[in-house]
Chain A
Amino acid sequence: DAKTTQPTSMDCAEGRAANLPCNHSTISGNEYVYWYRQIHSQGPQYIIHGLKNNETNEMASLIITEDRKSSTLILPHATLRDTAVYYCIVRVGRGNKLVFGAGTILRVKS
């Protein structure tokens, strides 16, 4: 399974952009990068995903480097409700499972 590396934790000031990095140097050409977040013990919430191109939706932007070995999730205007564990996941082929790592704890502070 392609592995991802994320910082253990990050702090962000409320109203500022939160930039969460992820390294996935062993990613294969047809593997997608997915981002989920989990607030407290709620079910993981889908944020965004991408293959090669940068992506943007109502929640966030995803920037993928040209070599696809790393990506950055951007929350443009972080709020206190964005405090959560953020998971960067590379989708693996067999079984279509999501392989979760430890994720990044993002703390948004006022």
Chain B
Amino acid sequence: DSGVTQTPKHLITATGQRVTLRCSPRSGDLSVYWYQQSLDQGLQFLIHYYNGEERAKGNILERFSAQQFPDLHSELNLSSLELGDSALYFCASSVEASLRETQYFGPGTRLLVL
């Protein structure tokens, strides 16, 4: 158990809908990262937040957005969902935001868009 929690574990929805994925980092961690894992793309970095501020963006679609709240939990919002958004979504956390900081991953949310 990494100490990172994600809810829900599974999510089934229809195209065009909007969903929110939630991540609670390990106690004391200020950084939260979101990754997407699809069958054809592998694990890809989406976005990084540090202490409430966006630090970096990866291959995140404009239909996706994220935020980190004062209590440090983070939410990833996916809107206008398409079939291709079906994937595993992982969040990871680390204490700070340096290269030496190990990222610890949560168990993921499996999203299925029908």
Interface residues in chain A, defined as those with a beta carbon under 8 Å from any beta carbon in chain B: 30-32, 34, 36, 38, 41-46, 49, 87, 91, 93-102
Q: Are the C-beta atoms of A96 and B58 separated by less than 8 Å?
A: no
Q: Chain B's interface: helix, strand, loop or mixed, by majority? A: strand
Q: A30-B99, A31-B99, A95-B48 are in contact. Are A100 and B106 (CB under 8 A)?
A: no
Q: Are the C-beta atoms of A102 and B56 separated by less than 8 Å?
A: no
Q: A41-B110, A45-B2 are in contact. Are A97 and B42 (CB under 8 A)?
A: no
> How many Å lie between the Cα of A45 and that of B56 in the bound state?
22
Inter-chain contacts of B100 with A (CB < 8 A): 32
Q: A94-B56, A96-B31, A100-B43 are in contact. Are A45 and B48 (CB under 8 A)?
A: no
> How many Å lie between the Cα of A44 and that of B93 in the bound state?
12
Q: Are the C-beta atoms of A95 and B102 separated by less than 8 Å?
A: no
> How many Å lie between the Cα of A31 and that of B33 in the bound state?
19
Interface residues in chain B, defined as those with a beta carbon under 8 Å from any beta carbon in chain A: 2, 4, 31, 33, 35, 37, 42-45, 48, 55-58, 88, 90, 92, 94, 97-108, 110
Q: Chain A's interface: helix, strand, loop or mixed, by majority? A: loop
Contact residue among B97, B99, B102 (Cβ-Cβ distance under 8 Å from A46): B102
> How many Å lie between the Cα of A43 and that of B99 in the bound state?
20
